[in-house]
Amino acid sequence: MSLEARMHKSMIGRRVLSTIFYFAIDAAAPLHAEVPPGPKWLQTAVFYQVYPQSYFDSNGDGVGDLPGITAKLDYIRSIGCNAIWINPIYESPFGDAGYDVADFYQVAARYGTNDDLKNLCAQAHKRGLHVCLDLVAGHTSVENKWFQQSALEQINPYSNWYIWTPPEEKVPGSQLFPGEQHRRERYLPNFFPFQPALNYGYARPDPKKPWQRPVTDPACVAVREELRNVMKFWLDLGADGFRVDMAASLIRNDPDHETISALWHYYRAWLDQHYPDAVFISEWSDPAVAIPAGFHIDSLLQFREPYQILLGSEARLDGDAREPHAFFERAGGGDIRAFLDEYLRHYARTKDRGYIAIPTGNHDTPRPTWGRNEQDVRTIFAMLLTMPGVPFIYYGDEIGMKFLPEVPNKEGGTLRGNFGEVRRCGSRTPMQWSKEKNAGFSTAPAETLYLPLDPTESRPDVATEENDPASLLNFTRALLKLRRERAALANAADFRPLYAEKNGYPFVYLRQAGSERIVVCINPAGRPCAAALEEVGQAKPLLVQDAAFREGRFEMGPVSFGIFEVER
């Protein structure tokens, strides 16, 4: 069957299924979770995101590396995580921290060798950890040999692997690639100008613009197949799947997401057939679309609404408030109902097919500690690690590392646009392991580290927190232990909001599996509050911070949470 026919067929299937989901699920009713399809390990997966250049430097050159990650697998396991996602590790000029790939088949020398990755995967597997790589599917570096060939004036097999636009059309964003032997057309970038977009084709090419090629164009088909070769290469080496960078960006002029969905269906069918234990995780932030398109997991992220309503956007702080207001702020001006309206829409459409992730943070957004103290962060973790879906913990968040907006811009860390300035490097500083030199990250001279360390004396570190039963690290471990041990908290166990008032606090929800029922109450506001719930008879505290159940009411202190086992 041709790809076009397959795309059409998969779209029909998707429409029928999503219609059924909409009618079958009422947000107020108990939502019984079928375990979603996909590998069994996802049912209990908890991810840890590693930014490789900042994790652990095993050879003293100031930059973290793959043997460094391997050396820390036992630590990652000890937190309660059983899967890792590593940011791009491929050969790159590092204009965008490795999201500008020069060679998709080669580990960058600064991180080690392909054999080091093979060894990392083998060592991870021995410990029950899965390893996902970052698949930069939408673009390459201008230094990639595919692009170098494509840019040549002389026609060659790579000429249309990128989107070249006639100079006289002045297509917005198009870039000139200077050089005597280079073509005069301008290429379209996908993110930074030095990241030319790979040409997967246009869903609806404009017949008046012949440079907009259909997805069936031989060059677009070649690009599509090459991406599959890249995936195969790393899966054969031991990887367990991919976090797909800008997963929605591959197809252009595709307003209904039909063609991009069909493309991911195509890859997913291949994955299911040849690597049924492997997974796709999308950077899309639209689970209702991404999961039916074929992803196992999609994350709610800082650049879209449900996440922003919950945790805030790019951390514009005003005293205790975030601008715009977020549910997780002491000022208590957030609206959990607005979050739920969005969340439940995504959940209803995806819960039988895949998982929603709400990460603690990532390499693009300020850390949760930004403008918050540890008590605040605990309330965030109490929610994120008891919600359905797959949790993702960003390295260092588990010890309360700070967001450091003052660190210098490095490798494309600072973004400037009409949204203002986003200083991503503040969340990319070296992991703090101990009180030793360079916080135990590296033996290199401090001035040669990838990025400067948090300079404050009180900076948190793993060794100190290991020895403190009350530390954030041990709290994170306790939460994940509870999640592991309680079926009602498993990734696909039922979820139902019990108390969620517009502009009100607390937020109370039920998790359930069989007869086991767990109620979670979250109050990030700096004032006490309470919720009376007739349907709860007895509630036994499992893990609480200033919260109690008395005479049918959950009574919450300022900035508090409670996780209770309930009898009815």
- Residues of this chain that bind ligand NOJ (CB under 6 A): 96, 99, 136, 191, 245-246, 283, 363-364
Residues 6 or more apart whose CB falls under 8 angstroms from that of 477 comprise 78, 79, 80
Q: What's the min distance (Å) between Cβ of 195 and ligand NOJ? A: 6
The residue among 198 and 246 lying less far from ligand NOJ, judged by its C-beta, is 246
Burial 473-509 (b: 16+ CB within 10 A, else e): bbbbbebbebbeebebbbbbbbbbbbbbeeebbbbbb
Q: What's the min distance (Å) between Cβ of 192 and ligand NOJ? A: 7
The residue among 400 and 413 lying less far from ligand NOJ, judged by its C-beta, is 413
The residue among 212 and 249 lying less far from ligand NOJ, judged by its C-beta, is 249
Q: What's the min distance (Å) between Cβ of 211 and ligand NOJ? A: 23
Q: What's the min distance (Å) between Cβ of 206 and ligand NOJ? A: 26
The residue among 252 and 363 lying less far from ligand NOJ, judged by its C-beta, is 363
The residue among 174 and 362 lying less far from ligand NOJ, judged by its C-beta, is 362
Q: What's the min distance (Å) between Cβ of 92 and ligand NOJ? A: 11
Return d(Cα 319, Cα 187) in angstroms, integer.
Answer: 45
The residue among 197 and 289 lying less far from ligand NOJ, judged by its C-beta, is 197
The residue among 299 and 379 lying less far from ligand NOJ, judged by its C-beta, is 299
Q: What's the min distance (Å) between Cβ of 191 and ligand NOJ? A: 4
Q: What's the min distance (Å) between Cβ of 98 and ligand NOJ? A: 9
The residue among 96 and 329 lying less far from ligand NOJ, judged by its C-beta, is 96
Residue nearest to ligand NOJ according to CB distances in the complex: 99
Q: What's the min distance (Å) between Cβ of 249 and ligand NOJ? A: 9
Return d(Cα 473, Cα 481) in angstroms, integer.
Answer: 12
Whether 132 contacts 281, CB under 8 Å: yes
Return d(Cα 384, Cα 390) in angstroms, integer.
Answer: 9
Please give, one letter per residue, the 3-state secondary structure of 251-300.
Answer: CECCCCCHHHHHHHHHHHHHHHHHCCCCEEEECCCCHHHHCCCCCCEEEC
Q: What's the min distance (Å) between Cβ of 52 and ligand NOJ? A: 13
**Nearest one of 407, 406, 402 to 374, comparing CA atoms:** 402
Whether 458 contacts 451, CB under 8 Å: no
Q: What's the min distance (Å) between Cβ of 297 and ligand NOJ? A: 15
The residue among 248 and 291 lying less far from ligand NOJ, judged by its C-beta, is 248
What stretch of H or E contains 180? none
Q: State whether residue 49 is helix, strand or coil.
A: strand
Q: What's the min distance (Å) between Cβ of 558 and ligand NOJ? A: 35
Residues 6 or more apart whose CB falls under 8 angstroms from that of 381 comprise 360, 475, 476, 479
Task: Report which residue type is found at 117.
Answer: L
Q: State whether residue 30 is helix, strand or coil.
A: coil
Q: State whether residue 482 is helix, strand or coil.
A: helix
The residue among 92 and 123 lying less far from ligand NOJ, judged by its C-beta, is 92
Tell me the sheet residues that pair with 519: 510, 564
Q: E strands within 475-552? A: 494-499, 507-513, 516-523, 529-532, 539-550
Alpha-carbon distance values, 312 to 288, 303, 325 (Å): 21, 10, 7
Return d(Cα 57, Cα 52) in angstroms, integer.
Answer: 9
The residue among 194 and 327 lying less far from ligand NOJ, judged by its C-beta, is 194
Residues 6 or more apart whose CB falls under 8 angstroms from that of 198 comprise 137, 138, 139, 140, 146, 161, 162, 190, 223, 227, 250
